[in-house]
Amino acid sequence: MIDAVVFDLDGVLLDSEQVWNEAKEELVGERGGRWVDRAPRDMMGMSSLEWSRYMRDELGVDMEPPQISDEVVARLEHIYREHLPLLDGAVDAVVRLGERWPLGLATSSNREIIDLFLELSGLDGRFAVTLSSEEVERGKPAPDVYLEAARRLGAEPTRCAAIEDSENGIRAAKAAGMRVIALPNPHYPPEAGALAQADDVIDNLGELTPERIPFPAS
């Protein structure tokens, strides 16, 4: 039985992974660093403290991590206010599942981005809990953000379902003990081993119906 549903944000409700990476790559180029092809996958799921340290230490950005994070977030905020890249069916999926279960949002996005998303999407008030991985000890693939989301929802992790798109996200939710429904990110598809850990796979948010959430009857 499922008592709560927890959404990831980037790649699940927003078509935004590439937007984050474009902002980060621009900053790397402007601040004397060197972008590498593996950087998007390396940083996927990291908390803001983790990816900003990575940009300084691995990509050579000549700024301190808090400054890096603030600059990237400022660029994202500008882009989102111009055009919020909602995935097709995102609002309907949240409303549909929210009629049946309390909802959480557990994401690697910074708190400022979470709050801006809620404001611009009209979904403010639809989530009982919203949580950034910068608010827990470790980012994904560690389970911390999902475990804390479940705790704040008052639900056992094993009685929660998580909606994820990336390999690190799938691994994080699975490590927390949740039922995982994967919506594979087309820009950065999860590798086969991670995708195999998902309990169900959907192709679009239109398929995310209440019937797909519970554990199948045995």
User: What domains can be seen in the chain, in order of their start residue?
Assistant: 4-15+85-212 (3.40.50.1000), 17-82 (1.10.150.240)
Q: Using CB atoms within 10 A of its CB, is residue 180 exposed (0-12), middle (13-18) or buried (19+)? A: buried
Looking at residue 158, what is its pLDDT? 97
Contacts of 114 (CB under 8 A, 6+ apart): 9, 105, 107, 130, 132
Q: Does the pLDDT value for residue 216 go beyond 80? A: no
Q: Does the pLDDT value for residue 218 go beyond 60? A: no
Omega before 141 within 30 of 0, i.e. cis: yes
pLDDT tens track for 67-119: 999 999 999 999 999 999 999 999 999 999 999 999 999 999 999 999 999 99
As a whole number, mean pLDDT of residues 133-140 equals 94
pTM for the full predicted model: 0.92
> What distance in Å separates the CA atoms of residue 160 and residue 138, rounded to the nearest whole number?
20
**What is the four-CA torsion angle of 65, 20, 59, 50, rounded to 10 degrees?**
40
Task: Report percent pLDDT > 70 for the chain.
Answer: 99
> What distance in Å separates the CA atoms of residue 152 and residue 58, rounded to the nearest whole number?
35
Which residues are bridge partners to 130 per DSSP?
A: 105
- Of the CA atoms within 13 Å of residue 54, those in its CB half-sphere come to 19
Q: Could you give the angle at the alpha carbon of 6 between the alpha carbons of 15 and 38, nearest 5°?
A: 45
